[in-house]
Chains A and B, each alone.
Chain A
Amino acid sequence: MGANPAENHPISFRWLLKARENGGKIVSVDPRFTRSSSQADLYAPLRSGTDIPFVGGMIKYAIDNNLFHKEYVAKYTNASFIVKEGFDFKDGLFSGYNEETRSYDKTKWEFETAEDGTPIRDESLENPRSVFQLLKKHYSRYDVETVVNVTGTPKNDFLKVCEAFCSTGKPGKSGTIMYAMGTTQHTVGTQNVRAFGILQLLLGNIGLPGGGINALRGESNVQGSTDFGLLFGDLPGYVGAPKALPEHASLKAYLEKETPKTGYWSNKPKFLVSMLKAWYGPNATKENEFGYHNIPKGNKNYSHMALFNAMYKGELDGTFLIGTNPVVGGPNAGKEKEALSKLKWMVAVDLWETETSAFWQKDAGSNPEKIDTEVFLLPACSSFEKEGSVSNSSRWMQYRWKAIEPKGESKADLEIIHSLATRIKKLYKNESTPAAKTINALHWEYGGHGEHPDIDVICKEINGYDAKTGKLVANFNSLLDDGTTICGNWIYSGFYPEEGKNLSKRRDNKDTGGGNFLNWSYAWPMNRRILYNRASADPSGKPWSKEKAVIWWDGLQKKWVGNDVPDFKPVVSPSEPGGQNPFIMMKDGVGGVFAPSLNDGPFPEHYEPFESPVANLFSKQEMNPTVFIFDGSFNKKGNKSKFPIIGTTYRVSEHWQSGTMTRNQEWLSELAAHMFIEMSEELAKEKGIKNKDKIIVSSARGEITAYAMVTKRFKPHKMNGKTVHQIGMPWHFGYKGFATGDTANRLTPHIGDANTNIPEFKAFLCNVRRAD
């Protein structure tokens, strides 16, 4: 659901087909009948942007038909917690909403706690203010009729999906949900994933083989690069970046505010202090709070759309673009291109000249004479012309060896970053301004030959070592908060436990049991392959079923054993305090059916997309009431009378993301050579469009021209007695490379999710017409 692995993650789909050979069922829920749908046992269409009604309906089905895993829910989730009096939900709004700030007072969603701060539980799940009863009440509104009237799914298809998936609530069965950007790229993207989480917790499907919620990562190392802190809000290892707030004004204040008293995050001080030691080396002392003050502290939303909005308004002078092409891949791409011309300088590091680094050219529709941006384009080499590791969707950190010298004068990004850092530092060497002090404090000693740093030194800094002896730490359990240990990214600590043993290089492909391949590469954290695998055993420590056993308590050895590394303290018995709390990263040790920390509510609720052809049937709130709305010409909104058709974007097997890597190659360019717009036969007929006609698609943001691809894969949505059309298009194209075409993202809006600010690429309004 929200993914099309047969086309976008093809090798992952092999394993689904193998699972089916073993009796498994594949369910595909998608607005379009994709190649994944064609291989599925069950297919259900839905209108883009209606995932919460669909999954909300499944949650109701599981509860009404008593198909949920009651003991798992009572013991391992917060369904038994009692929510404080005053919590309410009325006409699309949870309690605590402030219309002016478009935000919630989350103190209205708190749990009742005992004196020591632990939540009060009712494991019978009958207390009317228990999470379970509130959940039941919330989704009682998601009855089958309302759901299918919103989603446009034929009722029988919807019920078949409910029946098939909810049958995995039994011990001995498991079901997984594979998702990608079809789920996340919505104004309710986070809550779409949350809905999956609630359903999987109800069915007892987390922590088991064949279970979980699996994000199909779209880039070879989008997992690793997020782990290492390349999004503004997190430092490496998901330690929140400090903000310009009084509570974060000192390290002491930050740690007091941000360290939970219970759960594994109670170790946060050790992780942050060890990272500060890695970054500031000898300049990080106890007296200066380990260099904490050098870490930049912002007080705004610095995410992609806000960044381009700031650029558009002339608030940015310089930008680095490291292997990224927002003029094709960014939302409302026409505006993002315009924004680039406001920069004084731009550094692009890439294998290719992209639509972004060439934004000033005539071919881009620009007048070079009027653009004062100084552009530096640095040639990077490809992944097999250098060495280093990448982390896949399963958190496997796999090493890539260097097969050949970089082509021409191209270089590894590692060397480029290192060279820039050392040169910038050199310029500041003899200065003592505040700007100079912070960069002078940055510890940057990576040895190596000439300008190329020694990757082994970097690997050791990431894994961590003793500050005095230099001895590598075995794993993050050895880290301390007194400045005596160094560790660049705690979640990876353990991949390099001894000299000469970089475990990401392991290539022993013997199945060590359960398909876990524990001696192949390294999976963070601690080489665990199935997260929260304590939940595969019942509270007493016995597997819920033989078929789905992962780890279990061995009373003789007095430890957890099995075919995976326990995602749990290995010697804490089920009868000890915390011994029945599998979700160790959560403050209370249980899965969050109720999430009082999110910006848009503790339960997922349906709101229509920013641009929708229909009114919200669930409440008066049309759009997610907490999303941030950019003003003016940066973010034009289309209405349904002018733009009655739903548009969505997708990808094809032969191209990758913004297309730079694939449109610059001969064979792939030939295999998928043209930009196209896919539409139903019904819509084509209505508009007088034939297959392969040149057509124009317009939205409030712009127009693009492409070939029509008329297929049976799209069908008009019939909902509530109304017919709504939907079209789809690949977002890979631009004017550079061998295969060229108009850029789909010139149509998409600058609006995003209330928690993550991911843009709503997957549901916008548009119209189509013949080009001649």
Chain B
Amino acid sequence: MVEINLNRRQFLKLSGATAATLAIVELGFNEKEAYASSKEFKIAKSTVTPTICCYCGVGCGILVHTKDNAVVYTEGDPDHPVNEGKLCSKGTTIRQLYTTEKRLTKPLYRAPGSSKWEEKEWDWMYDRIAKRVKETRDASFVDKEDGIIVNKTERIASLGGAALDNEETYLLSKMMRGLGIVYLEHQARI
């Protein structure tokens, strides 16, 4: 993992409003063009894509401005009947979901007993996960219980999915139940 090495006090000082430009330089964030000047300059010739906020369930509209494969600006969607262009603190800063250095950009693997992550290729990860799923499933699959066909495995669980798109949750539900998974849960419970 790439960690930004700075202490809190320095971070707070640098990212204060008056020191914004300085912060970009000193912290090495590659966001110069986004912070640099006025809103008009930032979003000139950018592509605008409507989205819905990814946080709470109110469902506010947000416009994402992109240019040269970078997210240059985000703002409340003025045409959206729920928020009419307004946003809360989280919706306002949604751009940083893309720009933050904390984002994972490579699949990571931790071997049993290891104290570190290793970067791996997607194919390697997919194949190994598929193998482990099959192993566990085959060893634990119950097709009949007291004469009733049950076709399940109780040794694999799936948790989460409340932030996924509907189409994704549909595939997830179909795949997990298709595998015979009964420990199927997500954030509505917690």
A459 to B163, CA, bound (A): 18
C-alpha gap A757/B137 in the complex (Å): 27
Complex-state Cα separation, A507 to B178, whole angstroms:
36
Contact (Cβ within 8 A) A390 B106: no
Q: Please tell me which stretch of A37-45, A106-114, A132-140, A296-304 contacts chain B, meaning at least 4 of its Cβ atoms lie within 8 angstroms of it.
A: A296-304
Q: Count of chain B residues with Cβ under 8 Å from any Cβ of A?
A: 120
Are B104 and A352 interface neighbours, CB within 8 A?
Answer: yes
Give the interface size bracket for A toward B. 35 or more
Q: Is the Cβ of B110 less than 8 Å from the Cβ of A409?
A: no
Q: In the bound complex, do residue A244 and residue B157 qualify as a contact, i.e. CB atoms below 8 Å apart?
A: no
Give the chain B neighbours of A329 by CB distance below 8 A: 187, 190
Q: How far is the CA of A391 from the CA of B58 in the complex (A)?
A: 9
Beyond A296-B182, A401-B51, A439-B178, whether A322 also contacts B161 by CB under 8 A is: yes
Partner of B186, one of A225, A351, A360: A225
Are A653 and B89 interface neighbours, CB within 8 A? Answer: yes
For residue B159, give the distance in angstroms from its CB to the closest CB of chain A.
Answer: 5
Asked whether B52 lies within 8 Å of A398 as measured between CB atoms, the reply is: yes
- Interchain nearest-CB distance for B163 vs A (Å): 5
Contact present for A427 and B130 (CB under 8 Å): yes
Which of A231, A300, A665 is the one whose CB lies under 8 Å from B93?
A: A665
Report yes or no: B126 in contact with A419, Cβ–Cβ below 8 A: yes
What are 22 A-B pairs with beta-carbon distances under 8 A?
A9-B57, A14-B83, A217-B56, A229-B184, A231-B184, A232-B185, A296-B151, A297-B182, A307-B159, A320-B158, A322-B160, A326-B159, A369-B115, A372-B112, A372-B113, A377-B107, A388-B164, A390-B166, A488-B170, A665-B102, A738-B11, A758-B190
Given contacts A331-B190, A382-B97, contact A225 B184 (CB under 8 A): no
Report Cα–Cα, A390/B105, bound state, in Å.
24
Q: In the complex, how many angstroms separate the beta carbon of B21 from the nearest chain A beta carbon?
A: 15
Q: Are B113 and A295 in contact (CB under 8 A)?
A: no
- CB pair B154 A298 closer than 8 Å: yes
B160 and A321 within 8 A (CB): yes
Q: Does A50 contact B (CB under 8 A)?
A: no
B5 close to A (CB within 8 Å): no
| Stretch of A198-206, A428-436, A575-583 at the chain-chain interface | A428-436
Asked if B107 contacts A378 (CB within 8 A), the reply is yes
A434 to B178, CA, bound (A): 12
Q: How many A-B residue pairs have CB under 8 A?
A: 491
Measured CB to CB, the closest approach of chain A to B48, in angstroms, equals 8
Contacts of B87 in A (CB 8 A): 11
From B96, B126, B170, B188, residue with most partner A Cβ within 10 Å: B170
Residues of B within 8 A of A661 (CB): 54-55, 97
Q: Is the CB of A391 within 8 A of B90?
A: no
Contact partner of A222 among B51, B83, B188, CB < 8 A? B188
Q: Given contacts A232-B185, A409-B122, A417-B171, is CB(A323)–CB(B57) below 8 Å? A: no
Name B175's contact: one of A402, A411, A420 (CB within 8 Å). A420
A624 contacts partner chain B, Cβ-Cβ < 8 Å? no
Q: CB of B43 within 8 A of chain A?
A: no
Q: Are A228 and B166 in contact (CB under 8 A)?
A: yes
A327-362 residues at the B interface, CB under 8 angstroms = 329-331, 344-345, 347, 349-353, 360-362
Across the two chains, which residue of chain A brings its CB closest to B160?
A: A324
Compute how far the CA of A737 lies from the CA of B8 in the bound complex, rounded to whole angstroms. Answer: 12
Within 8 A of B (CB), among A381-410: 382-394, 396-405, 407-410
Pick the contact of B129: A347, A393, A398 (CB < 8 A): A347
Q: A304-B189, A758-B189 are in contact. List 12 more A-B contacts (CB 8 A).
A: A11-B82, A384-B97, A388-B165, A394-B59, A408-B103, A412-B168, A414-B171, A421-B171, A433-B141, A435-B141, A517-B81, A666-B11
The reply to whether A360 and B110 contact each other, CB–CB distance below 8 Å, is: yes
Judge whether B145 and A299 touch: CB under 8 Å.
yes
> Quick one: CB contact mask for A540-576 with B, threshold 8 Å, 1 for yes?
0000000000000000000000000000000000000
Alpha-carbon distance between A370 and B112 when the two chains are bound, in angstroms: 9
* Distance from A298 Cβ to chain B, minimum over Cβ atoms (Å): 4
Whether the pair B104, A351 counts as a contact (CB closer than 8 A) is yes
Interface residue ranges of A1-24 to B (CB < 8 Å): 8-12, 14
Q: Which 7 A-B pairs have the closest CB atoms?
A: A408-B105, A388-B165, A217-B57, A392-B59, A324-B160, A434-B143, A296-B152
Q: If A317-B140, A670-B12 touch, does A382 touch B54 (CB 8 Å cutoff)?
A: yes
